Amino acid sequence: MKDEDSRYEAVRSRDGRFDGVFFFAVETTGIYCRPSCPAVPPKRRNVRFFATAAAAQRSGFRACRRCRPDAVPGSAEWNVRADVTGRAMRLIADGVVDREGVAGLAARLGYSARQVQRQLTAELGAGPVALARTQRAHTARVLLQTTGLPVTEIAFASGFNSLRQFNDTIREVYAATPTELRAAAGGSRAARRATPGTGIPLRLAHRGPYQAAAVFDQLAREAVPGVEEVTGAPGARTYRRTLRLPYGTGIAAVRERVHCARSRGGTHPGGWLEARLRLTDPRDLTTAVQRLRRLFDLDADPYAVDERLGADPRLVPLVAARPGLRSPGAVDPLEPAVRALAGPAGAGELVRRYGKPLDAPHGGLTHLFPEPAVLAEAEPGGPLGALAAALADGTVRLDPGADRHAAEEALLALPGMDPDTVATLRVRALGDPDVAPPGAGLPDTWRPWRSYAVRHLRVAGEPIP
């Protein structure tokens, strides 16, 4: 949606379909919002539009306290795009700027830091530091309002380099001090604050309808013993897994039940999945959340997918039966490869032999998934060992910012790596929304959502053309 008049109509109708796609700010109040904000729509002459929350903040606007624009799903555009901007946004979301700085981000993208700064600023209105700063502020708000951690610990856990920088940013973004922001959570919210035993409660937001049953069915079918488990009856299941993270480890639990936001203007604004994270180091919160979002495909745009696929006669009944069907990803790029090459049971055996044991098991969760270097040394030779070695030495990159075409070429060059497995990795590890199985005759009209079309056919039990 490029036309500003069309954007204003979305704001006037409080259309939740565009939450995260763009943001609007009101010059008379100094506040920026998501399109579905419940406040009375401002006059057109007072409105400015921004591609990102960071751009709005960079122009001096603070986040609305009613609609919390910092908590919206990420733009689906970054998942679709394979260019440097899309790759950069996926890496920033994964916390690369906080861990490695702009120089590290640029090195992963294969550009100079100046080129990356110029490209992002020209297209998004904010550079990598400003984009990462917005993400840090959101992480800080979550920790302030859901945990009892001291403010000083939250500052550094959120990625800030100093307490002063943390305090200044929170004031600028939320027009409140950290203490005031924590107090604004209210007594009932404070009663649910995380403790070391219960973890951090989260709402994983999504836009539009969400077919949770199909996602949990797939996760249950593919669960790697020791690393993942799905418990409970259909409709009330919980997916739990271990996480290997940059600073430590984590245990994640996500509930199947979908919580829907209140509908406005006849649209389905979306909702959220309940989750809880236990982290050994709170600095991993941002990365852990983003990896769960990729696994559950929470930043997808179901409106765009369903509109395109629902226009095809063959897919009409499938889209109507499962609007908002998602294409699950992965939290660790090695996992889908091991599942594809060894199957869930074989993957579980590799976990038992080479995965790092947890200090204390959590139910059926006993290990972290093995690191590529460990698998490469333990299983030399063969497709699995070759892939693990390539991931360990960087010959193959399957991180969020990897070039998908370059990754495919590198994978196909490995011994024993067939096109079917590579296609699976493009979908699951790289989050590519437009993958056709090798030899499939999928129509071009299904682009750029062929991964979702294949998912519809498979969930419905229909053959791939």
Task: Find the mean pLDDT for residues 138-147.
Answer: 88
User: How confident is residue 2, by pLDDT bands cut at 50, 70 and 90?
Assistant: low
Helix (DSSP H) and strand (DSSP E) numbers for the chain: 21, 11
Whether residues 59 and 94 fall in one domain: no
CATH number at residue 390: 1.10.340.30
Q: Which of 63-67, 269-273, 415-419 shows the lowest mean pLDDT across its residues?
A: 269-273
CATH number at residue 25: 3.40.10.10
- Indicate the residue among 189, 209, 228 that finishes a domain: 189
Determine the pLDDT at residue 291: 96
Whether residues 228 and 260 fall in one domain: yes
pLDDT digits (tens, 9 = 90+) for 338-396: 998 898 899 999 999 999 999 989 999 999 999 999 999 998 888 999 999 999 999 99
For residue 321, tell me if it sits in a domain. no
Instruction: Choose from 236-245, 335-344, 390-399 the range with maximum mean pLDDT.
Output: 236-245
Determine the pLDDT at residue 266: 45
Q: 77, 48 in Cβ contact below 8 A?
A: no
Whether residues 84 and 156 fall in one domain: yes
The DSSP result for 122-150, as a single string, is: HHHSS-HHHHHHHHHHHHHHHHHHHB---
Determine the pLDDT at residue 190: 44
Whose tokens are 């992480």? That residue is 139
Whether residues 96 and 24 fall in one domain: no
Task: Find the mean pLDDT for residues 252-262.
Answer: 89
Task: Find the mean pLDDT for residues 23-38.
Answer: 94
Whether residues 81 and 19 fall in one domain: no
Determine the pLDDT at residue 267: 54
For residue 294, tell me if it sits in a domain. yes
Task: Find the mean pLDDT for residues 79-97.
Answer: 88
Whether residues 180 and 207 fall in one domain: no
Determine the pLDDT at residue 393: 94
- Indicate the residue among 28, 49, 71 that finishes a domain: 71
Whether residues 65 and 82 fall in one domain: no
Helix ranges (DSSP H) in 94-231: 96-109, 113-124, 128-146, 151-157, 163-174, 178-183, 187-191, 212-222
For residue 228, tell me if it sits in a domain. yes
Whether residues 233 and 165 fall in one domain: no
Whether residues 20 and 113 fall in one domain: no
pLDDT digits (tens, 9 = 90+) for 109-127: 999 999 999 999 999 999 9
The tally of domains found in the chain comes to: 4
465 vs 446: which has the higher pLDDT: 446
For residue 283, tell me if it sits in a domain. yes
Whether residues 31 and 105 fall in one domain: no
Whether residues 86 and 47 fall in one domain: no
Whether residues 293 and 279 fall in one domain: yes
Task: Find the mean pLDDT for residues 188-212.
Answer: 74
> Which tokens is 367 given?
């290990």
CA distance 48 to 13: 17
- Indicate the residue among 134, 156, 189 that finishes a domain: 189
Q: How many residues does the chain have?
A: 465
User: What is the Cβ-side half-sphere exposure of residue 78, based on CA atoms within 13 angstroms?
Assistant: 29
CATH number at residue 235: 3.30.310.20
Residue 270's closest CA among 240, 315, 312, 300? 300
- In one-letter notation, the amino acid at residue 27 is E
For residue 309, tell me if it sits in a domain. no
Q: Which of 102-106, 116-120, 164-168, 257-261 shows the lowest mean pLDDT across its residues?
A: 257-261
Flag whether pLDDT at 464 surpasses 50: yes
- Sequence-distant contacts of 171-176: CB under 8 A, at least 24 apart: 172/57, 172/62, 173/57, 173/62, 173/63, 173/70, 173/134, 173/137, 174/62, 174/63, 174/65, 174/137, 174/141, 175/62
CATH number at residue 135: 1.10.10.60
* Segments forming the whole domain that contains residue 168: 77-189
Rounded CA Rg of the chain: 22
For residue 449, tell me if it sits in a domain. no
For residue 158, tell me if it sits in a domain. yes
For 202, phi then psi, to 5°, come to -140, 155
Task: Find the mean pLDDT for residues 398-407.
Answer: 92
Determine the pLDDT at residue 171: 92
- In one-letter notation, the amino acid at residue 105 is L
For residue 311, tell me if it sits in a domain. no
Residue 248's closest CA among 324, 358, 93? 358
Flag whether pLDDT at 188 surpasses 50: no
